[in-house]
Amino acid sequence: MLRVIRKAAKTILPKSTVYRLKRQSAQNRFEKYTQQKLDMNFKLVEPGAIPPQELIAKTAALNEAELEKQSQADVYLETGYYSVLRLFKILEHFSINLRTIGSVFEFGCGTARLLRYFRHLDGVKLVGSDVNPEMIEWCLNNIPDVEFYHNQLTPPLSFAEDNSFDLILASSVFTHIPLDTQEVWLKEMQRILKPGGIFICSVLGQNHASLILGEREKAELNKTGSYTLTSDDSQATFSTKVGGSAWDVFQTRSEVITHRSLIFKLSSVINEVKGSLYKACSRLKGKCRTILAIAC
Domains of the chain in sequence order: 15-295 (3.40.50.150)
Reference 249, options 262, 263, 236, 266; nearest CA is 236
Of the pLDDT bands very low, low, confident and very high (cuts 50, 70, 90), residue 268 is low
Is the torsion defined by CA of 141, 146, 149, 153 positive or negative?
Answer: negative
pTM surpassing 0.85? yes
Query: For the segment 123-181, what is each residue's pLDDT rounded down to a tens digit?
Result: 999 999 999 999 999 999 999 999 999 999 999 999 999 999 999 999 989 999 998 89
Q: Are 139 and 108 in contact (CB under 8 A)?
A: no
CA distance 97 to 93: 10
Residue 295, pLDDT > 60, answer no
Query: For the segment 223-240, what is each residue's pLDDT rounded down to a tens digit?
Result: 998 999 999 998 988 888
Query: For the segment 64-92, what is each residue's pLDDT rounded down to a tens digit?
Result: 888 889 999 999 999 999 999 999 998 88
Whether the upstream peptide bond of residue 156 has omega within 30° of 0, thus cis, is yes
Residue 106, pLDDT > 90, answer yes
CA distance 148 to 129: 6
Q: Regarding predicted confidence, which is higher, 46 or 270? A: 46
The mean pLDDT of the chain is 86
Spatial CB neighbours of 217, under 8 Å, sequence gap ≥ 6: 209, 227, 229, 235
Query: For the segment 272-293, what is each residue's pLDDT rounded down to a tens digit?
Result: 544 455 555 555 444 444 443 3
Of the pLDDT bands very low, low, confident and very high (cuts 50, 70, 90), residue 256 is confident
Output 70-74 pairs: Cβ under 8 A, ≥24 positions apart: 72/16, 72/19, 74/16, 74/19, 74/20, 74/22, 74/23
Q: Are 244 and 176 in contact (CB under 8 A)?
A: yes
pLDDT of residue 242: 84
Residue 294, pLDDT > 50, answer no
What is the percent of the chain with per-residue pLDDT over 90, rounded to a whole number?
59
Q: Regarding predicted confidence, which is higher, 260 or 38? A: 38
